[in-house]
């Protein structure tokens, strides 16, 4: 068991809890194989930190327990690895336990993750060669003709995720580790280096008074005193091994380094020729208000801003109206860790409220929104088409407006304004998601228009379009959990009844001896506090595992909207109204009268 002395869990909180909370780096040599190991958190509440690391990996080692098999979080990680196209090797751990079932776990891997998960424990055999060849029709035809399978072909199949080697052992007793490392050396090839300088940021930390930007060099080289960003010079290049580091002058393609001197960098950012990664798939689903206690609220805000710099998904917000600090989190364990970090690192003893659900809003049909901003000596009009996207796509911005209608500079101002803020819906004021917003038209004045005018018109156009869709063209979304519930067979009736009462869905129960497993989905709002109930009615024997499965239409939308009491026209920073000008003075025009007052023609009929 973990005795609190794990090399890659050096933080005091990690030692106390016996789990990995923060990602860490280690360098190791095994025969002629040189590895840089990025150890990531294993708890679902810290999955976003794991996701940040994935884009810089050559290969991922996915650890699955031989006693527990494929869990909900395993499937979540598999989807993430597939999203980032990371070649993967699976290590089935705890094979020395009495309840270990390697054969059953392998069967689960093949049915739930992919048929290409193949048993590599016996080494390279003719049976394994045939199983590998079967994963690709072209490779199989060549194998049947030649009777052999070149190593380069196997490496290519692994790189393309068509084949996933599965090894077995016990990490604690170091059983099977040598075979795993030998397999990595023989069958996995590092990604090819880019010709010009490229690097990917995957983590931000603070070391005493210094801010560290962690990155992998993907191409070229990076030198100390270089300026990979305008007017920002790298002071130090550090190669870490656990808590210790060595200062180097140059980092080559493939190296993992932490650099000092850069500001404003963020996980996922591309430097040089590297592209910036899209927003993480895993997003927080709960929001909590901080109770500062005896601490100064400004000290709390400064501490949270530093933590937000390290993990942008915290999304720290300050409500001037409520005089309240809020953070966004994945779950209760992350909340506990955040509270402990504020105490140990910043000496702030705080608490948080019970938390609430992070809802989202979307549209169900297209609409054209218009914003007009024309106080005296100002002028702009913007037309935007707002239309639904598939679930989980986020927000996309584009322009299909002719340059003859609106100049390039003004179009740039519109797109910049769209990207500059979180757009709120008009049902409860929740963030907008799964929509495409396209600039279709507008107007400027050679004498009076400015960039600020187009920012105002753009934001008003978004809100005006949403108001045009009320109420039937809008939809409230809520986060759902994918859950696995293990209960004694005597309690399965209660469990099924509870899930149905919570508006959940589940597959047919799976029975193993005296135990029954239920797998399904349910709203986070219903399931988030269900764990203690499971413990109570199973007398401590039951277990509930949950991972976020994305957003779906809210099961109780009418009640949530009524409880929120949101009045969009009263939300002045997000007004849907416009400003027109007549007789030398600006005057307000309500959102529903804007279509008749607009200066430019509509592409969609209002």
> What would the pLDDT profile of 390-434 be if each residue is shown by its tens digit?
998 999 999 999 999 999 999 999 999 999 999 999 999 999 999
End-to-end CA distance of the chain: 66
- DSSP helix/strand/coil, 328: strand
Q: Is there a contact between 249 and 223 (Cβ–Cβ < 8 Å)?
A: yes
| 91: exposed, middle or buried (Cβ count in 10 Å: 0-12, 13-18, 19+) | buried
What are the angstrom distances between the C-alpha of 453 and each of 376, 406, 449? 11, 14, 6
Residue 468's contacts (CB-CB under 8 Å, 6 or more residues apart) are 367, 369, 591, 592, 606
Q: Give me the CATH topology for the region 286-358.
A: Alpha-Beta Plaits (3.30.70)
Helices (H), 194-258: none
User: What 8-state DSSP symbol labels residue 175?
Assistant: B
* Strand order, beta sheet including 210-219: 244-248, 236-241, 256-260, 210-219, 198-207, 270-272
State yes or no: cis peptide before 471, omega within 30 of 0.
yes
Domain ranges of the chain: 59-187, 198-272, 286-358, 359-606
pLDDT band of residue 19 (cuts 50, 70, 90) is: low
Contacts from 178-186 at CB under 8 Å and sequence distance 24+? Answer: 178/30, 179/120, 179/121, 179/123, 180/61, 180/89, 180/91, 181/30, 181/31, 181/33, 181/35, 182/31, 183/89, 183/120, 184/33, 184/35, 184/59, 184/89, 185/30, 185/31, 185/32, 185/33, 186/151
> What would the pLDDT profile of 219-231 be if each residue is shown by its tens digit?
999 999 999 999 9
Q: Rounded to the nearest 5°, which phi and psi values hold at 539? A: 55, 45
Cα(319)–Cα(46) distance, integer angstroms: 26
Q: Is there a contact between 544 and 72 (Cβ–Cβ < 8 Å)?
A: no
Q: What angle do CA 561, 564, 565 make, to 5 degrees?
A: 90
Contacts from 206-210 at CB under 8 Å and sequence distance 24+? Answer: 206/306, 206/309, 206/310, 210/260
> What would the pLDDT profile of 258-276 be if each residue is shown by its tens digit?
999 999 899 999 999 999 9
Q: HSE (CB half, 13 Å, CA atoms) of 11?
A: 19
CATH number, domain 59-187: 3.40.50.300
Whether the pLDDT of residue 465 is over 90: the answer is yes
Q: Is there a contact between 349 and 292 (Cβ–Cβ < 8 Å)?
A: no
- DSSP helix/strand/coil, 380: strand
Q: What is the mean pLDDT of residues 48-63?
A: 94
Whether the pLDDT of residue 201 is over 50: the answer is yes
> What would the pLDDT profile of 509-534 be if each residue is shown by its tens digit?
989 888 899 999 999 999 988 989 99
| 458: exposed, middle or buried (Cβ count in 10 Å: 0-12, 13-18, 19+) | buried
Could you tell me which of 131, 124, 121, 57 has the C-alpha nearest to residue 92? 121
Q: Is there a contact between 466 and 426 (Cβ–Cβ < 8 Å)?
A: yes
Ranking 33-37, 53-57, 108-112, 156-160 by mean pLDDT, the lowest is: 33-37
Mean pLDDT of the chain, nearest integer: 92
> What would the pLDDT profile of 89-106 be if each residue is shown by its tens digit?
999 999 999 999 999 999
β-sheet bridge partners, residue 60: 88
pLDDT at 321: 64
Could you tell me which of 80, 560, 502, 574 has the C-alpha nearest to residue 360? 560
Could you tell me which of 159, 165, 156, 152 has the C-alpha nearest to residue 113? 165
pLDDT band of residue 1 (cuts 50, 70, 90) is: very low
Token duo for residue 457:
């018109």
Token duo for residue 74:
């395993």
Token duo for residue 418:
């769209």
Find the helix or strand (DSSP H, E) in which 411 lies. helix 408-419
Q: Rounded to the nearest 5°, which phi and psi values hold at 163? A: -130, 135
Find the helix or strand (DSSP H, E) in which 516 lies. strand 515-523
Q: For 161, left (φ over 0), alpha (ψ -120 to 50), or beta?
A: left
pLDDT band of residue 12 (cuts 50, 70, 90) is: low
Token duo for residue 574:
């997000």
Q: Give me the CATH topology for the region 198-272.
A: Elongation Factor Tu (Ef-tu); domain 3 (2.40.30)
pLDDT at 328: 93
Q: HSE (CB half, 13 Å, CA atoms) of 601?
A: 3
Cα(474)–Cα(472) distance, integer angstroms: 6
User: What 8-state DSSP symbol labels residue 274?
Assistant: P
Q: Which CATH architecture has domain 359-606?
A: 2-Layer Sandwich (3.30)
Q: DSSP letters of 570-595?
A: G-GGG---EEEEETTEEEEE-GGGHH
> What would the pLDDT profile of 468-519 be if each residue is shown by its tens digit?
999 899 999 999 999 999 999 999 999 999 999 999 999 999 898 888 999 9
């Amino acid at each position: 068991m973990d005795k609190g002395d794990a090399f890659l869990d050096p933080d005091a909180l990690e030692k106390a809890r016996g789990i990995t909370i923060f990602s860490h780096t280690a360098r190791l040599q095994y025969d002629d194989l040189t590895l840089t190991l990025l150890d990531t958190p294993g708890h679902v509440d810290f999955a976003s930190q794991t996701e940040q690391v994935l884009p810089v990996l050559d290969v991922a080692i996915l650890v699955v327990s031989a006693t527990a098999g494929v869990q909900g979080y395993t499937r979540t990680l598999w989807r993430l690895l597939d999203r980032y196209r990371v070649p993967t090797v699976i290590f089935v751990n705890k094979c020395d336990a009495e309840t270990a079932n390697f054969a059953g776990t392998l069967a689960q891997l093949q049915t739930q993750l992919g048929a290409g998960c193949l048993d590599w424990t016996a080494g390279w055999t003719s049976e394994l060669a045939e199983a590998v060849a079967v994963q690709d029709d072209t490779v199989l035809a060549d194998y049947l003709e030649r009777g052999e399978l070149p190593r380069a072909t196997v490496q290519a199949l692994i790189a393309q995720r068509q084949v996933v080697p599965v090894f077995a052992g016990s990490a604690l007793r170091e059983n099977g580790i040598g075979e795993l490392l030998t397999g990595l050396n023989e069958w996995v090839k590092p990604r090819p280096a880019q010709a010009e300088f490229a690097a990917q940021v995957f983590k931000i930390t603070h070391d005493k008074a210094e801010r560290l930007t962690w990155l992998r060099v993907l191409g070229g080289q990076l030198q100390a005193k270089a300026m990979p960003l305008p007017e920002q010079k790298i002071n130090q290049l550090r190669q870490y091994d656990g808590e210790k580091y060595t200062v180097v002058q140059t980092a080559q393609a493939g190296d993992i380094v932490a650099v000092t001197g850069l500001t404003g960098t963020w996980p996922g950012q591309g430097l040089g020729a590297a592209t910036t990664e899209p927003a993480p798939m895993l997003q927080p689903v709960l929001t909590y208000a901080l109770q500062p206690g005896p601490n100064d609220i400004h000290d709390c805000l400064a501490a949270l801003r530093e933590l937000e710099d390290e993990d942008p998904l915290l999304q720290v917000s300050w409500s001037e109206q409520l005089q309240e600090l809020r953070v966004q989190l994945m779950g209760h364990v992350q909340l506990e860790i955040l509270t402990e970090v504020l105490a140990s690192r910043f000496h702030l003893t705080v608490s948080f409220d019970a938390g609430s659900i992070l809802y989202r809003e979307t549209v169900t049909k297209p609409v054209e929104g218009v914003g007009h901003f024309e106080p005296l000596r100002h002028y702009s009009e913007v037309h935007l088409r707002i239309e639904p996207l598939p679930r989980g796509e986020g927000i996309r911005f584009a322009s299909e407006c002719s340059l003859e209608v609106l100049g390039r500079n003004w179009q740039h101002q519109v797109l910049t304004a769209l990207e500059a803020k979180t757009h709120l819906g008009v049902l409860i004021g929740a963030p907008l998601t799964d929509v495409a917003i396209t600039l279709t038209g507008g107007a400027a004045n050679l004498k009076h228009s400015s960039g600020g005018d187009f920012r105002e018109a753009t934001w008003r156009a978004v809100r005006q379009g949403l108001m045009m869709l009320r109420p039937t063209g809008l939809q409230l979304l809520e986060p759902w959990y994918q859950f696995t519930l293990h209960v004694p067979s005597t309690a399965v009736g209660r469990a099924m009844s509870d899930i149905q009462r919570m508006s959940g869905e589940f597959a047919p129960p799976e029975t193993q001896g005296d135990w029954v497993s239920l797998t399904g989905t349910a709203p986070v709002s219903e399931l988030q506090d269900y764990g203690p109930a499971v413990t109570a009615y199973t007398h401590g024997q039951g277990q509930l595992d949950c991972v976020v499965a994305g957003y779906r239409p809210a099961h109780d939308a009418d009640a949530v909207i009524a409880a929120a009491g949101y009045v969009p026209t009263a939300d002045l920073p997000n007004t849907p109204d416009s400003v027109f000008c007549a007789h030398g003075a600006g005057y307000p025009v309500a959102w529903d009268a804007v279509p008749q007052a607009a200066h430019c023609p509509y592409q969609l009929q209002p």
